[in-house]
Amino acid sequence: MTEPKKALFDFYQQVGERYDEEEHVYQTLRGILRKRFIMEILADWQGSLLDIGCNKGMYLHVYQGGERFGIDLSLPVLQKIGNRNTDLYLAVADAENLECLKKNTFDHVLCSEVLEHCLHPEKVFEGIAHVLKPGGTALITTPNYRGQKPKWISLGPLHEVGVECDCDEGYFHTAYRPNELQELSEQTGLQVVKAGTLEKQIKYAAKIPAAFLLAGRALNRIFRSKRFGLWNENFVHLHTLYCYKLCQKMGLEKWLTAKIKEGVRSYILVKKTES
């Protein structure tokens, strides 16, 4: 087995080349809700923006508040952005080593769905504190969890598009509760502005489709079909979205959402103090 850090670096090069995350994730209810939440915050920001783990630059393309900078560990995914934006600055960089960037440079930092992939999350927060200007703000989002904290998970759909990872336990993908994000922020000297969860709608909209997902996965242990595995995942995402839209039309969304204590995604908005 390759050393974990090196194995994960190679893994994300493959992901960037073979898996179109923006195309897949942001067609699902999870992605739609997450994008809506982040876009509302970006709309209020003015000044330079650094997007950590920018992927194909979806948020950078729509940001209108100032200069836009994006970093990602995967060169193949940055190459997919092309030359559509001459005022968009991109670089290959590790979220755990932001000291490679100049101190006190950015007014705002976005780090969405990156921290859960990092072996040393405290280094990511230290890096955010390093690059933020005094008074600057950062938004971090991660998966939330209940029960046992996840760590290494199977490749799932990634394996079905030819992605491999030379780690015995799959690839590193953990999660954080809002209070854990708050602790990491405070350890780094960042001031917590707001923390909580989002994507509560998933918990009611996915109940019935989730049963089909589990049944499909059990069936595919027999067939071992990549095509069926992808079809099963897409079927569930599609019908979760249908259930959500049906609840909207019936006027049930607000009532159902109000009944749910926590969403499946955690977030924290932090500020670097002026002193």
Range of the domain at 121: 4-200+261-272
Does residue 94 sit in the same domain as residue 193? yes
Domains identified in the chain, total number: 2
* Domain co-membership, 79 together with 170: yes
Written as one string, the DSSP assignment of 181-196 is: HHHHHHHTTEEEEEEE
Of 90, 93, 147, nearest in space to 118 by CA: 93
Residues 23 and 131 in one domain: yes
The pTM for the full model equals: 0.90
- 181 with 209, same domain: the answer is no
| Phi, psi for 101 (deg, rounded to 5) | -100, 155
**CATH number of the domain bearing residue 177:** 3.40.50.150
pLDDT (0 to 100) of residue 211: 72
Note whether 212 and 189 are same-domain residues. Answer: no
Task: Tell me the pLDDT tens digit for each residue of 149-190.
Answer: 999 888 877 877 888 888 766 889 999 999 999 999 999 999
Average pLDDT over residues 53-60: 95
Share of the chain above pLDDT 90, in %: 68
- Residue 71: pLDDT over 90: yes
Judgement on whether residues 223 and 151 belong to the same structural domain of the protein: no
Instruction: Indicate the residue type of 85.
Output: N
Confidence band of 1 (pLDDT split at 50, 70, 90): very low
Residue 213 confidence class, pLDDT cut points 50, 70, 90 = low
Identify the pLDDT of residue 50. 98
Residue at token pair 């996840």: 150
